[in-house]
């Protein structure tokens, strides 16, 4: 007698290794039953008025096993709890079936089998009722699963699935021909009404392009043809005019452009006419205004006087952007230029350029105010001045000049807590550089230093007189 499941399985499977998974499951179950039958050696069979009773006696517990079989004239039943309940029934008993007429499940009586599980190599019938159906290789990432309760499914390892009201397909959907509703499929297109691209009575998507009747067409090369259209607040009328604006905006904001080219990063047009242009960001290199007199705006750069280039925007008049009359705002300051005169405002200073006094300003007291003869606050500035000799760039001769560097004068003012408003000697002028471009340069009005030099000479002279008087007294005392 065989004593283990494995030995029986090897005997049953000898010479038959290439079996399908489900067939193997069937054989495994039958082989397990075979082992149990062969190893049961303490069986008891009784014929009673209730039928044929089959059971086994447990010598250890000295009780009958609760797992028993009973056969009557039309039913065979199994129990595993001494007939408190039945785990399997074969024969005539109640069962559920679906009534197609009344569209619901009903109770019926007939011959069949009811059990906790059924393992079979082949199942056929007019109705199969269940909850979930799995393929023998299903593990969540391979195989297939069908939930009959809610209709969700997961086929081919998830490549075709329906979950959470979403049908998902991974891979290609191929169809040689057929139709979905009013849409037809052939070998080259999907269409409605007509299989020809651009037909007035059809809608088409295929090898020749995309078309909705003959009013909107995109050919296979990407060319778009339409009679009119709207994109956001932009509309194209049947005459080819582009209009920017909508009924929710004032009429005077609507803008028309003619002969317009739109590229990846620019709009080029021969003419724009608008009472008002509203834009979150306007990126242009030059804007010219053609009203009475004209003028415009352009990008420009200057110099902060320390050889550091500054960048900003310049507004100019009807003479054009190369005119000597303009206003420029950069990242370092703002300057108003009028010919050779300028007014410059920066974070820490204000400069106003002026010509060297040729006598035209006048020195009459009646032309001046806030006159103060106390010059002491300028003495520290005087001592910090740095006279030097130098050559000018781009001069034809190579002669040395004696004077000051404007940046040094500016630093001397700052170091002595003076502002440009305390001394009108420092200003800003604009002149063309070596590239023939206007650029900011610091300038000095040397007239301002004459009075300061006079003050310091006078103070020094008075000091010399005092020292000479003291020396004379010492000489008299020593005699």
Asked if residue 344 and residue 237 are part of one domain, the reply reads no
Q: How many structural domains does the chain have?
A: 3
| Cα–Cα distance measured from residue 139 to residue 145, given in angstroms and rounded to the nearest whole number | 9
Burial of 247 (0-12, 13-18, 19+ CB in 10 A): exposed
Task: Tell me how far apart the alpha carbons of residues 139 and 137 are, in angstroms, rounded to a whole number.
Answer: 6
Distance CA 37, CA 29 (A): 13
> Is the CB of residue 144 less than 8 Å from the CB of residue 156?
yes
Distances (CA, A) of 428 to 137, 296, 314, 423: 87, 24, 17, 14
Distance of CA 336 to the CA centre of its chain: 42
Q: Is residue 88 part of a domain?
A: yes
> 444: domain range?
295-460
Q: What is the three-state SS of 228-242?
A: CEEECCEEECCCCCE
Q: Per the confidence metrics, is the pTM higher than 0.85?
A: no
200-209 pLDDT tens trace = 888 888 888 8
Query: What is the DSSP pairing of strand 325-330 with strand 350-352?
Result: unpaired
Tokens of 212: 């909705």
Q: Are residues 59 and 105 in the same domain?
A: yes
104 within 8 A of 110, measured Cβ to Cβ: no
Is 39 part of any domain? yes
In a domain, 389, yes or no: yes
Q: What is the DSSP letter of 421?
A: G
Residue 452's CB is within 10 A of a number of other CB atoms, namely: 17
Question: Is residue 261, in this structure, part of any structural domain at all?
Answer: yes
- Are 328 and 456 members of one domain? yes
User: Rounded to whole angstroms, how far apart are CA atoms 344 and 430?
Assistant: 10
Enter the DSSP assignment of 356.
P
- The dihedral over CA atoms of 252, 253, 256, 261, expressed in degrees to the nearest 10, equals 160
Q: Is 188 within the bounds of a domain?
A: no
Q: 306: closest CA among 282, 333, 327?
A: 333
Whether 45 and 22 have beta carbons less than 8 Å apart is answered as no
Cβ(233)–Cβ(250) under 8 Å?
A: no
Q: Do residues 399 and 380 lie in contact, with contact meaning Cβ atoms separated by under 8 Å?
A: no
Let me know if residue 31 belongs to a domain.
yes
Q: Are residues 118 and 250 in the same domain?
A: no
- 360 and 431 inside one domain: yes
Q: Both 14 and 57 in a single domain? A: yes
Q: Are residues 258 and 308 in the same domain?
A: no
Written as tens digits, the pLDDT of the chain (479 aa) is 344 445 445 444 543 443 467 677 767 767 766 766 766 667 888 888 888 988 888 888 888 889 888 998 889 999 999 989 998 899 888 888 888 888 888 888 988 888 888 877 677 777 788 788 888 888 878 888 888 888 898 888 888 888 888 888 887 777 667 777 788 888 788 888 888 888 888 888 888 888 888 888 888 888 888 777 777 667 777 766 666 554 444 444 344 444 455 555 556 565 555 666 666 566 666 677 665 667 888 887 776 655 577 788 888 887 877 777 888 888 888 888 877 677 777 776 666 665 544 445 567 888 888 888 989 999 999 999 999 999 988 777 888 999 999 999 999 999 999 987 888 888 777 676 777 666 777 888 888 899 999 999 999 999 999 999 999 888 887 86
Question: Does residue 476 form part of some domain?
Answer: no
Q: Is residue 211 part of a domain?
A: no
> Are both 263 and 299 inside the same structural domain?
no
Same-domain status, 326 and 264: no
């Amino acid at each position: 007698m065989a004593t283990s499941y494995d030995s029986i399985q090897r005997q049953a499977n000898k010479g038959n290794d290439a079996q399908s998974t489900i067939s193997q499951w069937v054989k495994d179950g039958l082989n397990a039953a075979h082992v149990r039958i062969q190893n049961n050696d303490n069986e008891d069979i009784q014929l009673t008025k209730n039928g044929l009773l089959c059971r086994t006696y447990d010598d250890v517990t000295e009780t009958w096993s609760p797992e028993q079989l009973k056969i009557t004239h039309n039913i065979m039943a199994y129990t595993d709890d001494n007939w408190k309940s039945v785990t399997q029934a074969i024969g005539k008993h109640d069962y559920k079936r679906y009534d197609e007429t009344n569209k619901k499940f009903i109770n019926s009586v007939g011959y069949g089998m009811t059990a906790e599980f059924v393992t079979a190599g082949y199942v056929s019938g007019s109705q199969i009722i269940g909850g979930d159906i799995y393929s023998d290789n299903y593990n969540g990432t391979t195989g297939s699963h069908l939930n009959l309760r809610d209709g969700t499914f997961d086929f081919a390892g998830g490549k075709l699935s329906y979950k959470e009201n979403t049908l998902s397909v991974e891979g290609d959907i191929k169809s040689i021909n057929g139709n979905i509703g009013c849409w037809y499929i052939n070998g080259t297109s999907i269409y409605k009404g007509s299989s020809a691209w651009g037909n007035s009575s059809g809608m088409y998507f295929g090898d020749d392009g995309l078309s909705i009747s003959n009013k909107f067409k995109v050919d296979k090369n990407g060319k778009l043809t339409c009679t009119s259209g709207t994109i956001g607040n932009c509309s194209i009328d049947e005459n080819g005019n582009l209009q920017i604006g909508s009924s929710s905006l004032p009429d005077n904001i609507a803008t028309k452009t003619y002969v317009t080219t739109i590229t990846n990063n620019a709009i080029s047009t021969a003419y724009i006419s608008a009472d008002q242009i509203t834009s979150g960001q306007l990126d242009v290199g030059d804007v010219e205004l053609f009203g009475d007199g004209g003028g415009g705006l352009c990008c420009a750069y200057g110099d902060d006087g320390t050889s550091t280039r500054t960048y900003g925007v310049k507004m100019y008049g009807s003479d054009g952007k190369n005119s000597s009359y303009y206003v420029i705002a950069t990242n370092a300051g703002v300057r108003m230029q009028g010919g050779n005169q300028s007014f410059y405002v920066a974070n820490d200073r204000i400069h106003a350029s002026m010509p060297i006094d040729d006598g035209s300003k006048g020195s009459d007291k009646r032309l001046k105010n806030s006159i103060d003869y106390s010059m002491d606050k300028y003495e520290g500035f005087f001592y910090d001045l740095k006279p030097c000799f130098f050559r000018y760039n781009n001069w034809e001769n190579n002669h040395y000049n004696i004077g000051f560097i404007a940046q040094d004068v500016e630093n001397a003012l700052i170091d002595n807590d003076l502002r440009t408003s305390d001394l009108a000697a420092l200003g800003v002028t604009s002149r063309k550089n070596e590239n023939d471009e206007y650029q900011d340069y610091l300038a000095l009005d040397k007239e301002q230093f004459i009075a300061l030099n006079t003050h310091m000479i006078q103070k020094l002279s008075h000091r010399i007189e005092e020292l000479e008087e003291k020396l004379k007294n010492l000489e008299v005392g020593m005699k």
